[in-house]
Amino acid sequence: MTEIWTLGRMLAWATPFLQKHGSESPRLDAELLLCATTGLRRLDLYIDHERPLQPDELERFRALIRRRARAEPVAYILGHKSFHGVELQVGPAVLVPRPETESLVDRALQFLATEAAPSGMVVDVGTGSGAVALALAAALRARGDARPIGATDISAAALDVARANATQLGLDAALTFAEAPLLGPFAAPSSLAGVYSNPPYIRRDRLAGLPLTVRGYEPRLALDGGEDGLDVLRPLARAALVALQPGGQFAAELGDREQGREMVQLLQGAGAVDARCDPIGPGPTAIVSARRAV
Ligand SMILES: C[S@@+](CC[C@H](N)C(=O)[O-])C[C@H]1O[C@@H](n2cnc3c(N)ncnc32)[C@H](O)[C@@H]1O
């Protein structure tokens, strides 16, 4: 007798299989991949758990599960990831946007809503999929703030993804992209209201210890921060303090408290005010921020 593979049974098979192959969220991964295969919502997987899969669905689901078992990120398999309320296309040219980076967007939005915030452009350095720049653009437009937003990256392939995302979200007019290091063409002195970045900050000797799903798939350019992880952040902070208007904000994600301490010292030494480092979430990741003195 041929076996009937229902939704419930497929999940009961795929979850321990993915766990055995190193997934840290095997049930969620299996559910997302089953939704992508069937077009169902996650809730439907429970309501209709007795629904049998069609032979073509079975074949497609097994192929997706095999990709995930080889540690390919779920977001690359699905081709999209939601970030701070915007849906982004993602692929191997860009880092998968992380939930902790949403805190960087919140930090910027909070500051830009204050009376102390200068008017004028904000820039996202190392934009990748466009995550920070596009989330900022969407939220600023929603509250009637039409300030221009610049976004740089040294990866032409990443910028292609970011531009496509801007078009898809109807935000082209809000953004100017530049293939350039650090602030690129947006570095004019005393011109910017905010400089934001989630740069590569992993210490080089820790790259080999990252999970396979990261080190085997995500771009090295997005991860490798040099010997102490601050190769991009250090010159960026210095450039930002020149390009910001008095009172303008610099904020960036970094990997741990030690990097945070170094960056706070650097910012204070360069004359910035309110330099601080705040942890985000339960892990070591943190946000360093400061303002150019008025
Ligand atoms: C950690 S990823 C962040 C991507 C995106 N902002 C996010 O949060 O999902 C860092 C990005 O910085 C880019 N990058 C690396 N070095 C850079 C530099 N010197 N100037 C500008 N961008 C750089 C990489 O290509 C990569 O897209």
CB 240 within 8 A of CB 195: yes
C-alpha distances in angstroms, 231 versus 204, 236, 259?
10, 9, 11
**CATH number, domain 84-291, options 3.30.70.270, 3.40.1160.10, 3.40.190.100, 3.40.50.150:** 3.40.50.150
In the reported structure, the alpha carbon of residue 100 is separated from the centroid of ligand 1 by a whole-number distance in angstroms of 15
- The pLDDT-based confidence of 281 (bands split at 50, 70, 90) is confident
Q: 150-192: per-residue pLDDT in tens? A: 999 999 999 999 999 999 999 999 999 999 999 999 999 999 9
Edge-to-edge, what's the strand order for the sheet holding 273-279?
175-179, 149-153, 121-125, 192-197, 244-254, 286-291, 273-279
What is the Cα Rg of the chain in Å? 21
Query: 89-92: long-range contacts at Cβ-Cβ below 8 A with a sequence spacing of 24 or more?
Result: 89/129, 89/161, 89/164, 89/165, 89/168, 90/129, 90/161, 91/161, 92/217, 92/218, 92/219
In the reported structure, the alpha carbon of residue 36 is separated from the centroid of ligand 1 by a whole-number distance in angstroms of 29
Calculated CA dihedral for residues 121, 124, 128, 132, nearest 10 degrees: -90
Q: Which of 89, 129, 155, 203 to mutate to test the pocket of ligand 1 (most atoms within 8 A of CB)?
A: 155
Q: 51-76: per-residue pLDDT in tens? A: 999 999 999 999 999 999 999 999 99
Q: 197-226: per-residue pLDDT in tens? A: 999 999 999 999 999 999 999 999 999 999
In the reported structure, the alpha carbon of residue 32 is separated from the centroid of ligand 1 by a whole-number distance in angstroms of 27
Q: 2-37: per-residue pLDDT in tens? A: 678 999 999 999 999 999 999 999 999 999 999 999
What was the pLDDT predicted at 225?
Answer: 98
What was the pLDDT predicted at 1?
Answer: 52
Ligand 1 atom with minimal separation from the 235 CA: 19
Query: Domain 7-70 belongs to what topology?
Result: Helicase, Ruva Protein; domain 3 (1.10.8)
Pocket of ligand 1 (CB under 6 A): 95, 97, 101, 125-129, 131-132, 152-155, 158, 181-182, 198-200, 221-222, 232
What was the pLDDT predicted at 34?
Answer: 98
Helices (runs of H) and strands (runs of E) counted in the chain: 12, 9
Q: Which of 221, 224, 234 to mutate to test the pocket of ligand 1 (most atoms within 8 A of CB)?
A: 221
Mean pLDDT (whole number) for 253-263:
96
Q: Kindly report the average pLDDT of the chain as a whole number.
A: 97
Q: 112-136: per-residue pLDDT in tens? A: 999 999 999 999 999 999 999 999 9
85 pLDDT more than 60: yes
User: Strands 192-197 and 121-125: what pairing?
Assistant: parallel
What was the pLDDT predicted at 158?
Answer: 98
Same fold, 7-70 and 84-291: no
- The pLDDT-based confidence of 282 (bands split at 50, 70, 90) is confident
Give the CA angle between residues 165, 70, 66 to the nearest 5°.
90
48 pLDDT more than 60: yes
Domain ranges of the chain: 7-70, 84-291
Enter the DSSP assignment of 179: E
